[in-house]
Chains A and B, each alone.
Chain A
Amino acid sequence: MKRETDCKQARGFLLLARSGELGPRNRARLDRHLAACAACRTRAAETERLSAAVARALPEGCPSGAALTRIRAHAAEQTASAPHPLRRPSPAWACAAALALIAGIWFARLPPARDTRIRAVAAAMAIVAEDSAATNTAAAASHSLEALAARILEWEGLEPNGEAVTDLFNEDASLPSTRTQSRNTRAFSGRIYG
């Protein structure tokens, strides 16, 4: 009975080994089983031959030149038409633009003596930019942006959902248009404005 169970499992393992999906531990188990089971060794050889023959016999074919031309034309048409979704800014770029805006607003409000905080924000921005570019995901960009803004607000002595925050962000008239550029920025703004 044990042998039957092993043989049944080995048949599945054989297929997985052929497709490169068998892990090293199960590969070792399969090798041990094959070393001890002549029937499975025969079956393994048969499966190999049969699979190769079927793969050769199944049609491969080739798409026509006309089909490839139409695909190429459609691809070119999609990229040429503007504005196009393919050309929407990535979350990382939207995040970077939002960061630049926030930093601009904040720096404009700073008296000259705040060099230390400026340097700190510059460092934080570098980290955020790197993080956003590396991950290129909306979630990461939004999270990074929110984290940076929270630190800026903390330095300014403001609460994240207070009216003072609204005032801070509304001082610059360009903020609303920027907010429309990115879902991340909108989500972020929603959280900030409460």
Chain B
Amino acid sequence: MDVTDKELIARYRHGDVAALEALVEKYRRPLFGYIVNMTTGQADADEVFQDVWLKVIRKLHRYRHRNFRGWLIRIARNTVLDRARRRPEASLDAENEAGTARVDALPGDDPGPAQRFEQAELGRRIRDAVETLPPEQKEVVVLRLRAELPFKDIARVQGVSINTALARMQYGLAKLRPLLRELC
């Protein structure tokens, strides 16, 4: 945990709600990025995101860790898993609302319609390919490339060694490698 997180937590503990809002904003992208990829759409991700922060708020007075981001993602992972256990059919819905937002997120320096279509198509193919990965490999790919968690923390989140986390990433990327031909 860097100094800023520590300071923000201390300020919230003393009643400064704005400090908590700053924490929410700081980790909004990596946390929601992880959640939206591991759930089934905006509404589902929204609920999980909210649940995670409510848990964080409840637990913050007992927080003694040094790595806030890792702690946050562990809470998110447990929340996602609990939810999947309660609603097993939800995890089978590969085509989700978030897919629409993903197409918009693809890069491009004001591409023309044809190029936009190609990029959108490639984005969809990559996402489909990621969805076909075994869950633990998909999770490593998402944690690394979307939540930007270091492998040390990914290993801790998954409860495996760092070598296992690295191997899962390598296997995952190996399965996506055929898409490289389309990236030229």
Sample of 17 further A-B pairs with CB below 8 A, known A21-B150, A54-B126, A78-B57: A12-B166, A15-B169, A20-B150, A21-B151, A47-B173, A50-B173, A54-B141, A55-B146, A57-B130, A60-B32, A61-B36, A63-B46, A63-B49, A64-B42, A70-B50, A74-B53, A76-B17
Contact with A along B44-86 (1 / 0, CB 8 A): 0111011001100110111000000000000000000000000
Residue of B47, B49, B127 ringed by the most chain A CB atoms within 10 A: B49
Picked from B32, B54, B151, the residue with its CB within 8 Å of the CB of A15 is B151
Contacting residues, chain B, for A55 (C-beta < 8 A): 145-146
Main SS at interface, chain A: helix
- Pairs of residues from A and B, 8 with the lowest C-beta to C-beta distance, nearest first: A57-B126, A59-B102, A85-B61, A61-B36, A55-B145, A59-B98, A57-B123, A71-B53
Contacting residues, chain A, for B37 (C-beta < 8 A): 58-59
Which residue of the partner chain B has the closest CB to A136? B10
Chain B residues bordering chain A, tally (CB within 8 A): 58
Interface positions of B (Cβ within 8 A of A): 12-17, 20-21, 24, 28-29, 32-33, 36-37, 42, 45-47, 49-50, 53-54, 57-58, 60-62, 98-99, 101-102, 105-107, 122-123, 126-127, 130, 141-142, 144-146, 150-152, 163, 166, 169-170, 173, 176-177, 179-180, 183
Contacting residues, chain A, for B144 (C-beta < 8 A): 15, 19
- A113 an interface residue at 8 Å Cβ cutoff? no
- A86 an interface residue at 8 Å Cβ cutoff? yes
Contacting residues, chain B, for A15 (C-beta < 8 A): 144, 151, 166, 169-170
Picked from A46, A54, A71, the residue with its CB within 8 Å of the CB of B50 is A71
Contact A58 B32 (CB under 8 A): no
- A37 an interface residue at 8 Å Cβ cutoff? no
Picked from A49, A61, A85, the residue with its CB within 8 Å of the CB of B45 is A61
Contacting residues, chain A, for B163 (C-beta < 8 A): 12
Contact B170 A71 (CB under 8 A): no
Contact B28 A56 (CB under 8 A): no
